[in-house]
Amino acid sequence: MALTGSSSPSFPPAQAPDDWVDRFLLAGPDDQECLRFEAPVDRAALRALVAEQAGRLTAAGLTRGGTAALRLAPSLGYTAALLACWQLGAQAVLLDHRLTDHEVALAVERLAPQVLVESAHGPAAAMRGFAETDPVPVALPGGRPAATGHALVQLSSGSTGPAKVIARTAADLLRELDCYARLEAFPKAGERVVLLSSMVHVLGLVGGLLNSLHARVPLTVPARTTTAGVLAAIGADDRPTTVIGVPFHAELLAGAADPPPLPQLRRMIVAGELVRPGVPAAFTARYGVPLGTMYGMTETGVIATDLTGRNHPAVEPVHGMELSVAGGELHIAREESPYLGPTDPTRWSDGLLHTRDAALIEAGTGLVTVLGRRDSQVSIGGLKVDLNEVEHTLAALPEVREAVVVFADGAIEAYLATGNAATAGVTDRADAVREALARELAAFKRPRRLTFLPALPRTATGKLVRDAAALRAATP
């Protein structure tokens, strides 16, 4: 496997070299800008910060084959601490900084890292793109060294249930970077990236942070992720710019009332969940550039893309990704299970990763259309109902900004965000929605219950929560 796009040397595909961080992520001219958290950071400064964090981790007892859990907000400190873990040959466990102390304690008990790295500073304010962090590693009693050779351990988003423990090797991370390097429309040297996705999760981590370091594309994290803050970050530099985020960010920008001219904007790329109908056209109408989409999973990283927007909603598999559909479910060829602990055969078996997403693969072109969660099909009175169809119908209504439809206690429930106070005009909105649904959906498909909220709850990765209990708990 030879990484392209950054003059990287080749190495055996079965494993990454011990110095992979230095060779593929930190290498480059000393004065070359690589990151910007308000102020620019060049490669010499980043290497110095990584060395400092490596010294702190070593002093806390972390060695090659050890385990460290990072509970840090996206920041320069987080970046340096993560790269230092890998530079030392340790396994990094990423815990979202927005988790409660109770949730972190449960994760630590479950994963048993030897070192926990937290910030000496308080949590970041809402709508901040990054935080000020001073990583402080603390040795944990009872921590265990890594039982596998994986470099990265992440917890799934938990949008539909309990989180899964997902592990990836350094070689697999480098394979994904090679996929990005082969995508002609993905940012290349001489361009820049404005990152809105959290770099604690797979899209922002690999597609944003690691790829920018590898491809030598300067990465900017806006100080604020408001519409004005993002537009200011785009306009602050004349170099060709790609914005990377989730569909929520695209809708936010598409709704900007009077954005300034942004001739440097080349495209926006989103992933994480399905893009609502009409959003790509609205974004392109507003800025004159395409809204590209990517489909991926924490287990594999990027799977398929449509960076030009020409194939939407279909996407094209990236280099080396073997996809198939069986029983309506999308499967991905993968020799080993990506999960730590006992393997659930409904998620991985016989060399296939079961995505639990319904999909179609177009004969001849190989283009993939992801239809939504395969478990979205339920039975109402013996009749099959696709919750995705109900959800998309609701989301297209003018009274609804976003929607989540779930099946609980034998009935369909819809949770709708309007952007208004949850108690203001509920009856009128509910009547309007029901009238529209009566025109567009058969009676057995219509939700028995409509719940209006100012905003729908989201996971740490920005995905809409689809757990019925969690949605009910968020209801006033």
Q: 15-61: per-residue pLDDT in tens?
A: 799 999 999 999 999 999 999 998 999 999 999 999 999 999 999 99
Residues 203 and 309 in one domain: yes
Residues 204 and 300 in one domain: yes
Asked if the model's pLDDT at residue 463 lies above 70, the reply is yes
Q: Is the pTM of this model over 0.85?
A: no
Is residue 11 situated within a structural domain?
Answer: no
Is residue 101 situated within a structural domain?
Answer: yes
> Which domain, by its residues, includes 368?
322-376
Q: What is the mean pLDDT of residues 182-200?
A: 95
Provide the CATH number for the domain around residue 421: 3.30.300.30
Residues 370 and 441 in one domain: no
Provide the CATH number for the domain around residue 81: 3.40.50.980
Is residue 451 situated within a structural domain?
Answer: yes
Q: Which of 122, 155, 188 is the last residue of a domain?
A: 155
Q: How far apart are CA 7 and CA 191, in angstroms?
A: 17
Q: Which residues contact 179 (CB under 8 A, 6 or more apart)?
A: 301, 302, 318, 319, 320, 321
Which is higher by pLDDT, 215 or 445? 215
Residues 182 and 298 in one domain: yes
Residues 337 and 359 in one domain: yes
Asked if the model's pLDDT at residue 361 lies above 90, the reply is yes
Tokens of 174: 């480098």
Residues 304 and 439 in one domain: no
Q: What is the pLDDT of residue 11?
A: 40
Residues 191 and 327 in one domain: no
Residues 351 and 463 in one domain: no
Residues 139 and 205 in one domain: no
- Count of the separate structural domains present in the chain: 4
Q: What is the mean pLDDT of residues 414-425?
A: 67
Q: What is the pLDDT of residue 123?
A: 65
What distances in angstroms separate CA 333 from CA 54, 92, 224, 303, 341, one per listed residue? 36, 25, 39, 11, 20
Residues 307 and 385 in one domain: no
User: Residues for the chain: how many in total?
Assistant: 476
Q: Which residues contact 62 (CB under 8 A, 6 or more apart)?
A: 68, 85, 88, 90, 114, 115, 137
Is residue 21 situated within a structural domain?
Answer: no
